[in-house]
Amino acid sequence: MDHAPFIWTAYAASGLILLWTAIAPLLRQKRARRAIHLLDPGKPTNDSHS
Amino acid sequence: MTTIAGMADVAHSASLSRAFFALLRRDLLLAFRRRSELLFPVIFVLVVVSLFPLGIGPGPALLARIAPGVVWIAALLATVVALDNLFRSDFEDGTLEQFVISGHPLALIALAKTLAHWLVAGLPLVLMSPLLALWMNLPTRAVGVMAASLALATPILSFIGAIGAGLTISLRRGGQLLSLLVFPLYIPVLIIATAAIMAAVDGLPHGAFLGLLLAGLLTSVTLAPFATAAALKISLS
Amino acid sequence: MSTNQAKKPRKNALVLFIHKLGSPPWFYNFTGKLIPWLWLLFGVLAAWGLYLGLVRAPADYLQGESFRIMYIHVPAAWMSMMIYGLMAVMGFIALVWRIRTMEILAMSSAPIGAAFTLAALISGSLWGRPTWGTYWVWDARLTSELVLLFLYFGVMSLYAAFDEPRKAARAAALLALVGLINLPIIHFSVNWWNTLHQPSSIGVTGSTIHPSMLWPLLIMAVATKFYYAANLLTRARLMLLEQDFRKSWARDAINGVAAPTTHGEPD
């Protein structure tokens, strides 16, 4: 049996799970920044996303 | 000096045991006033167990093979379904806070209430287990072991479950969450109890399994009330 | 806390450090500087370990090429258990000493641990297909990981069910602690259940591990610890920000105002 597809799938799946776990808080951080900025719109901000 | 201290000690422990039995009596009385709720776990288990022959066919050999697992899983489900009521009514009408203010150790209150819960929800399962064994075509030599395993280990389910009930009491949908929290913790009980019954079916020695269940019972009775008390404190804070 | 603490004698530097960790602005700034280095270390180590494991290590004479899955499966399984233990210990500290940073660290650990558990389960079942001929076997290790995943789900959903974050963290920490006490019992009973129902146990311990196969495993095990640290601190910073978003330090942090590093509002 050719084992390569199983190896690649295992690494790809694990990599995707760990990648998503790492990225999810960054996306949430964006939202938190926006919420804080809305609360306090008077001040200038360095955050280019909001 | 010593006599006064000793007397105070005796008075204290007397008031503790009095509080314990008063609470136990109260909970049992309340349960007997609501007969339909009292019968609920029994009917629930009967219905769940009867679903298995309907779902997989009435072959006696197959039923006997799966009987320990089926009866025990039904017992787990019945316990968890009944657990949501353990503290809920007392939490909602403020009685639980009164208990806390009363100054009695919260662990003692948890112990009394959990024991009352087992007498109402767990003991009937033990008593009707011969009927379930008959339905599931379990060999006669294993019926006693099944009853013994239920008698020893359903209290463990109640005591561990009480921790989960204490944690979810202040949540609106606590009952749904409760099952997710406690089922993984029930796995050792399920494994050892069904292994005991299966050993008895095969005519093998099963005393060690029942001994393990007894050890689990003693451990959970001594430790779980304190965890339940901590859980209730968090929920009431 | 006085503003001149940095000038005090160094004898209680450790105590000072612990106190500082309890101060949200200090924690936020300190970890902000630390996190990029942790990611860098993870990246370097993971690249090195994967190169050694996937390219350099020879094929196993018993299992062929599929043993290479081990380099992600085993570190993920180790991490899944280690993180659960750390989460419960941090939860215990949070419960006893009521340190908010500890509550946050314990609760930030749960999703990372669950991710490692899931990775271990998926890679384990993909290893099982060429080895056992099926994707899922109720063997002791996979079953234990599955139960561990359920325990993580319990902690995470209990935490998510409360509106008030501190109460949620305390409740979930207590559950994690109960789970930690139960975990050895679960592990033992699942192992034993496995031998009971499967007398011919299928193990991979038969083949001795060659050093060229061991090194990548150890490197990956260290790399995943840096991943955990970096991810944990990222999540903890975010949780602090979300809980404190009405406080002035959080707005300063967001607006890029350099927050003072030697002092902060006591928590």
Residues of chain C numbered 97-126 and touching chain A (CB < 8 Å): 111-112, 115-116, 118-119, 122-123, 126
Confidence tier at C267 by pLDDT (50, 70, 90): very low
What is the Cα–Cα distance from B129 to B45, expressed in whole angstroms? 10
Interface test with A, best of C39, C255, C257 (most A CBs within 10 A): C255
CB B103 within 8 A of CB B74: no
Chain C residue with the nearest C-alpha to that of B180: C154
Mean pLDDT of C51-58: 82
Mean pLDDT of B69-98: 89
Q: Provide the 3-class DSSP secondary structure of residue C64.
A: strand
Residue C17 forms contact with B (CB below 8 Å): no
Q: Which residue would you say has higher pLDDT here, B155 or C24? A: B155
Question: What per-residue confidence (pLDDT) applies to A29?
Answer: 83
- DSSP output for C223-253: HHHHHHHHHHHHHHHHHHHHHTTTSHHHHHH
Eight-class DSSP state of A42: T
Eight-class DSSP state of C180: H
Chain B residue with the nearest C-alpha to that of C148: B184
Question: What per-residue confidence (pLDDT) applies to A49?
Answer: 45
Helices C100-132 and C24-51, axial angle in degrees (round to 10): 20
pLDDT digits (tens, 9 = 90+) for B174-233: 788 999 999 999 999 999 999 999 999 988 888 899 999 999 999 999 999 999 999 999
Tabulate helix, strand, coil % of chain B (nearest 5).
90, 0, 10
- Please name the member of C116, C238, C254 whose beta carbon is closest to the beta carbon of A47: C254
Mean pLDDT of C244-265: 66
Interface test with B, best of C185, C192, C198 (most B CBs within 10 A): C185
Question: What per-residue confidence (pLDDT) applies to C10?
Answer: 55
pLDDT digits (tens, 9 = 90+) for C127-142: 888 888 888 888 888 8
Residue C171 has pLDDT above 70, yes or no: yes
pLDDT digits (tens, 9 = 90+) for B105-124: 889 999 999 999 999 889 99
Question: What per-residue confidence (pLDDT) applies to A32?
Answer: 76
Q: Give the closest residue to B152 by CA, choosing from B177, B129, B178, B134.
A: B129
Q: Which residues of C touch B191 (CB under 8 A)?
A: 189-190, 192-193
- How much of chain C exceeds pLDDT 90, in percent? 43
Question: What per-residue confidence (pLDDT) applies to B71?
Answer: 94
pLDDT digits (tens, 9 = 90+) for C93-106: 999 988 888 999 99
Interface test with C, best of A2, A8, A9, A11 (most C CBs within 10 A): A11
Residue C167 has pLDDT above 70, yes or no: yes
Residue with tokens 């009695």: B104
Task: Give ipTM to 2 decimals.
Answer: 0.88
- How much of chain B exceeds pLDDT 70, in percent? 94
- How much of chain C exceeds pLDDT 70, in percent? 83
Question: What per-residue confidence (pLDDT) applies to C81?
Answer: 93
Residue C200 has pLDDT above 70, yes or no: no
Question: What per-residue confidence (pLDDT) applies to C21?
Answer: 73
Query: Is the CB of A22 less than 8 angstroms away from the CB of C234?
Result: yes
Question: What per-residue confidence (pLDDT) applies to A41?
Answer: 60
Chain B residue with the nearest C-alpha to that of C162: B171
Tell me if there are at least 3 CB pairs under 8 Å linking chains A and B: no
Query: Is the CB of A32 less than 8 angstroms away from the CB of C238?
Result: yes
- Which helix (H) or strand (E) covers residue B226, if one does? helix B207-236
Residue C264 has pLDDT above 60, yes or no: no
What is the Cα–Cα distance from B51 to C124, expressed in whole angstroms? 34
Query: Is the CB of A45 less than 8 angstroms away from the CB of C65?
Result: no
Question: What per-residue confidence (pLDDT) applies to B34?
Answer: 78
Residue A8 forms contact with C (CB below 8 Å): no
Count of C-beta atoms within a 10 Å radius of residue C78:
17
Residue with tokens 């494991």: C53
What is the Cα–Cα distance from C154 to B185, expressed in whole angstroms? 10
Tell me if there are at least 3 CB pairs under 8 Å linking chains C and B: yes
Query: Is the CB of C147 less than 8 angstroms away from the CB of B184?
Result: yes
Question: What per-residue confidence (pLDDT) applies to C11?
Answer: 55
- Please name the member of B183, B188, B234 whose beta carbon is closest to the beta carbon of C167: B234
Query: Left (φ > 0), alpha (ψ -120 to 50) or beta: where does C222 sit?
Result: alpha
Q: Which residues of B touch C174 (CB under 8 A)?
A: 163, 167, 227, 230-231, 234
pLDDT digits (tens, 9 = 90+) for A1-50: 577 888 889 999 999 999 999 999 998 888 877 777 777 665 554 544 43
What is the phi/psi pair of residue C266, to 5°? -65, 145
What is the Cα–Cα distance from B168 to B177, expressed in whole angstroms? 7
Residues of chain B numbered 172-201 and touching chain C (CB < 8 Å): 173-174, 177, 180-181, 183-185, 187-188, 191-192, 195
pLDDT digits (tens, 9 = 90+) for C71-90: 999 999 999 999 999 999 99
Mean pLDDT of C187-214: 66
Residue B6 has pLDDT above 70, yes or no: no
Lowest mean pLDDT among A28-32, B121-125, B159-163, C115-119: A28-32
Question: What per-residue confidence (pLDDT) applies to C265?
Answer: 46
On the 0-12 / 13-18 / 19+ scale of CB atoms within 10 A, B109 is: buried
Confidence tier at B95 by pLDDT (50, 70, 90): confident
Q: Which residue would you say has higher pLDDT here, C11 or C184? A: C184
Mean pLDDT of B78-95: 87
Residue C143 has pLDDT above 60, yes or no: yes
Residue B227 forms contact with C (CB below 8 Å): yes
Q: In the predicted model, what is the mean pLDDT of chain C?
A: 83
Confidence tier at C2 by pLDDT (50, 70, 90): very low
Chain C residue with the nearest C-alpha to that of B223: C178
